[in-house]
Amino acid sequence: MTDILETVSIKWHPGFYGAAELEFLSNKDALEFQREFNLSKEPIRMDLLIIKKLADIRTKNELGHIFKKFNVIEFSR
């Protein structure tokens, strides 16, 4: 069983993106989600960039209340 799990490549990031968007659904219009945003011309990328569109919006979420304008989210399993 362990051998099978080690050979299977699970795509974790799409689920992570969907969960992040669901978590901030109540502030959907005030936030912009950019998946695997390129940090440079080279293939260095962050997993998720959440941009707070309006400064005076308070997100209705445990994490969102600490958001600045640009918020980098990295996913690790």
pLDDT per 10-residue tile (average), the chain, 77 residues: 67 85 91 81 79 86 85 80
Q: Are 67 and 52 spatial neighbours (Cβ–Cβ below 8 Å)? A: yes
For 52, the domain range is 2-73
Please tell me the predicted confidence (pLDDT) of residue 56. Answer: 87
Q: How far is CA 17 from CA 5, 6, 48, 57, in A?
A: 23, 23, 7, 22
Number of domains, the chain: 1
DSSP bridge partners of 32: 51
Between vectors from CA 56 to CA 30 and to CA 25, what angle results, nearest 5°? 25
pLDDT at 40: 72
Residue 9: what pLDDT? Answer: 77
- pLDDT value at residue 77: 66
What pLDDT score was predicted for residue 3? 65
Those residues with Cβ within 8 angstroms of residue 9's Cβ, 6 or more apart along the chain or in another chain: none
